[in-house]
Amino acid sequence: MDDAEVLSFLDEERIVTCATLGPRGFPHLMPLWYVVRGSRPPRLWAWTFAKSQKVRNLERDPRATLQVEAGRDQYHLLRGVMLETEVTVHRDVDAVTELGLEIFRRYGGGGELTDEVGAMVRQQAAKRVGLEFAELNRATWDHRKLGNVY
């Protein structure tokens, strides 16, 4: 996939699997909701609980591999993006709040948030961190381009 296709793909998909290195050296895989900020290269951002295992892992080693995939039903429809990233953990409550609101706007259909959702995000932000994934390397696949020839 070229840059425009990657950006479009990341915009339409909803779940990123984040792999960090656990304390015993095994990959620790977790799904995350995310938003895309920027375009060259796009940066994925997510939020998570500050005391989560993935944050502990990132404090030891700030590298993560991300995968977003689609087309699970048929081989010829498989496509995806894998990103090797360097992760910055953001702890500023105001920045984490804005990120949380952005995530909930995206997953809520892009409209205005209800007062209840906004209040929930503001309350949660104090317990959470923002994760900024800066791309170092990328691999992509789009089996739809193979024309049923494997």
Confidence at residue 150, expressed as pLDDT on a 0 to 100 scale: 63
Per-run averaged pLDDT (10 residues), the chain, 150 residues: 90 95 96 90 93 97 96 82 97 95 86 83 95 95 77
How far is it, in rounded angstroms, from Cα 78 to Cα 99?
30
Determine the Cα–Cα distance for residues 87 and 132; give it in Å rounded to an integer.
5
What pLDDT is attached to residue 21?
97
Q: Where are the domains of the chain?
A: 3-144
Whole-number Å distance between alpha carbons of 105 and 45: 14
Question: Residue 85's Cα: distance from chain center in Å?
Answer: 11
pLDDT recorded at residue 123: 92
Q: Which CATH number fits domain 3-144: 3.30.420.40, 2.60.40.10, 2.40.128.20, 2.30.110.10?
A: 2.30.110.10
**CA 5 to CA 142: how far, in whole Å?**
10
Closest CA to 97 of 67, 74, 128, 76: 128
